Structures are given as C-alpha cells and as structure tokens.
Amino acid sequence: MNWLEKVRETCSLFPIFQLTLSEPATFGTAVTFLSVESKEIYNLHKILLDAVSPPPELIDRYIELDHFIPHLGQTKWGMNEAEIIEMKLAAREALSPFPSFDVSFVRVFDIKKNAPFEDIKLAKLF
C-alpha cells in the first residue's frame, strides 16, 4: 500500500476539473459504459501512473497510458449481447443532452471486494 500515499499527494496537487459525459459505448459485447470528454482526465491519469510507477507488464495488462479509455460505469457481468446493445441505446436516449460535472475526487477501489476503498480529494485552487 506504499503507492496510496503517492496517490494522495498527487491528488492534493491536481485541481478540480470539469468532465462531460458522452456517447455510450462498449468494450466488446460484455460491458457498456459512458464515454467522457476532458483533457484533464488524461493528464490526471498520466501523473497518477507516474506517481505509482507500475511495471510495464501491469501497464499493458490493465490497458493504461496510450490505450487508456476514460469512461464512467459499466454493466453487471452476465448480461448477454442483446442486453448490452439495449442498455447502450437506452442510455443514449435517457441521458442526451449529456451533462457536465466537476470532478472533485479520485475513488480508489478494493479490487478483491469490488467496493470503494477511499475517496481522495483533488485540490481546490480557487
């Protein structure tokens, strides 16, 4: 857990930013998500990876850096392809026009429990 303090420090220096939800998309036929638009999310992603310094094999395994696709949410596992497509179309209709909001924290998840572990606040620079 040595990396966690580095994440806290990095977040404490990164300003709150705005993010806009965008078109629903899928990862294959198993996951539906909402795309997001924000140049700052790419910057935050990069500096968090720099702070944590994962080995290259983990960067490749977890699809980081150049392969990173920022997104919000995903489906529950076990949905079939038709349900995934239906969810994507329903999300497009229900959420358009897509809202924007301030990103004020980074949520760290406990992968083993698939549950939030800690919310780390970003800097308030105003």
Q: How far apart are alpha carbons 73 and 33 in whole angstroms?
A: 5
pLDDT score, position 42: 94
Look at residue 27 in the predicted model and tell me its pLDDT. 82
- Going from the C-alpha of 121 to that of each of 3, 17, 117, the distances in angstroms are 16, 12, 13
Lowest-confidence region among 48-52, 58-62, 105-109:
58-62
Range 24-29 average pLDDT? 83
In percent, the amount of the chain with pLDDT more than 70 equals: 94
**CB distance 35 to 71 below 8 Å:** yes
**Beta-carbon-side half-sphere exposure of residue 23 (alpha carbons within 13 Å):** 3
- The pTM of the full predicted model, rounded to 2 decimals, is 0.82
Can you give the pLDDT at residue 74?
60
The pLDDT, as a whole number, for residue 38 is: 94
The DSSP call for residue 74 is -
Cα 30 from Cα 84, distance rounded (Å) = 7
Q: Which residues pair with 101 in a beta bridge?
A: 19
